[in-house]
Copies of this chain bind each other. A is one copy, B any other.
């Protein structure tokens, strides 16, 4: 009888299951389910209720439908029997929250609330709560809150801005919400019948820590009189590190999915964070770059160290026992996609079609022979603001254009800019004596060989690439095997689990010494511009102000 784990990976548009061999990590089957209601950003489903600007909602039923679709699908595809599945892990976008009744029923499924947008899931990228985030940042500064040492700045994407937005806009939903929780925690609750909270989500998105808990009653009272007891009233539940066992599959869920009742389910984790064990990294001082539309830079340390540009440092936040750091760049793949969509001329498109390659490949072909610096171009990778500085008002820049500048040169300069941004994060860690001893990458962008080589050349570091295409889902499966434990055919030690189930490709990207030398100089130029436009000349902010009228 085999031993298998399932990783459930809930993304922005769809959810995925992968079924893997617990002994080897081999991916036996995978299935994807696209959310029927996707991202809800204009009107509520089957309704003409219009949403506020920058709203991004979801329907929690789509998560249940995902579970019902993808788990039976991977069992069917693999021929694996229910009793061979020893554990399930869940990773989820975050901070994606919903208000529910005490039994977990989402308020949006309660008849009298279904037309209220605040009863629905607020997706991570719901930015309508920016005013609330501003207010919270102001208050933490005024009160000089100690927990803020662990965070660079509270984002509108996080939990309390979203809760405060509910309260400000719709006190009746706030009052009716007997629970407010991360959708990842909610789906684990639905699978197991037990409400627990993830230390990862709570730590990175709700200013919680194992030693200090959530912010104080005084803080919440100062924020809004009605929020004084928000923790006791709506949040309190055991907070456990990812990989702990949340509970077993319920009878009802066993029926819906074809799994055995009691199958272990791990405490959920955030998708990017799951990519760390999914890339085989479970120890400190190894940075994992989770590279997609944006890039998350995940690192662990043995002590609580505060590093510039890090969004949050959370004990047990990635792997139990270590401090997990999350830094990042707000747009990476998104910048290249913007360029492909908006800036590549028609004859390049024809050429790509003729050669049977996509535009990314064509541009890489045309620019990969260039020496670093040959184009004379330099860019700042701030198309979606600068997360290192937590400043959404910064914007993109390219300089060095001449009348003979070609599109592939600009494309390459944009890639280089994102590599400089990553290098800045690596140097910020090094400055605080948190050395990046090894560098790993996972995610969609790792397919772009030119890009990966540029990252190696810019950072001067060898880059190891995760073996799996689905590092987050594999990380979730590893946590599932950990939740099952050795006695159930899984693992008690995440180091053993990760070394068996995850790995990196044998080919790595090694820096070229001469290219690195040139890139050191160019990086110096990047730093100068970085400082100038963030600290000295605030023209980007003023221009954004004008553009809003």
Contacts and interface: CB of A to CB of B under 8 A. Distances in A.
A540 B397 contact: no
Contacts of A341: 345
Given A345-B341, A521-B546, A540 B402 contact: no
A304 B549 CA distance: 45
A335 B402 CA distance: 9
A401 B396 contact: yes
A276 B286 CA distance: 68
Interface string A369-396: 0010111111010011000000000011
A537 interface: yes
Contact of A378 (B335, B521, B525, B543): B543
Interface string A394-418: 0111111111011100000000000
A525 B549 contact: no
Contacts of A405: 338, 342, 383, 396
Contact of A334 (B346, B350, B397, B403): B403
Nearest to A373: B546
A372 to B, nearest CB: 8
Given A349-B346, A529-B539, A402 B383 contact: yes
Nearest to A406: B342
A532 B533 CA distance: 11
Contacts of A542: 521, 525
Contacts of A537: 528-529, 532
7 nearest A-B residue pairs (beta carbon): A396-B401, A376-B547, A373-B546, A397-B399, A346-B346, A346-B349, A376-B543
Given A341-B345, A397-B399, 18 more contacts: A335-B403, A342-B407, A343-B345, A343-B407, A345-B346, A346-B350, A374-B546, A376-B544, A377-B543, A383-B401, A384-B402, A396-B401, A396-B402, A396-B405, A397-B397, A399-B533, A399-B539, A529-B537
Interface of A: 331, 334-335, 338, 341-346, 349-350, 371, 373-378, 380, 383-384, 395-403, 405-407, 518, 521-522, 525, 528-529, 532-533, 537, 539-540, 542-544, 546-547, 549
12 contacts: A341-B345, A342-B406, A343-B345, A345-B346, A373-B543, A375-B547, A380-B399, A383-B403, A397-B400, A398-B399, A525-B539, A525-B543
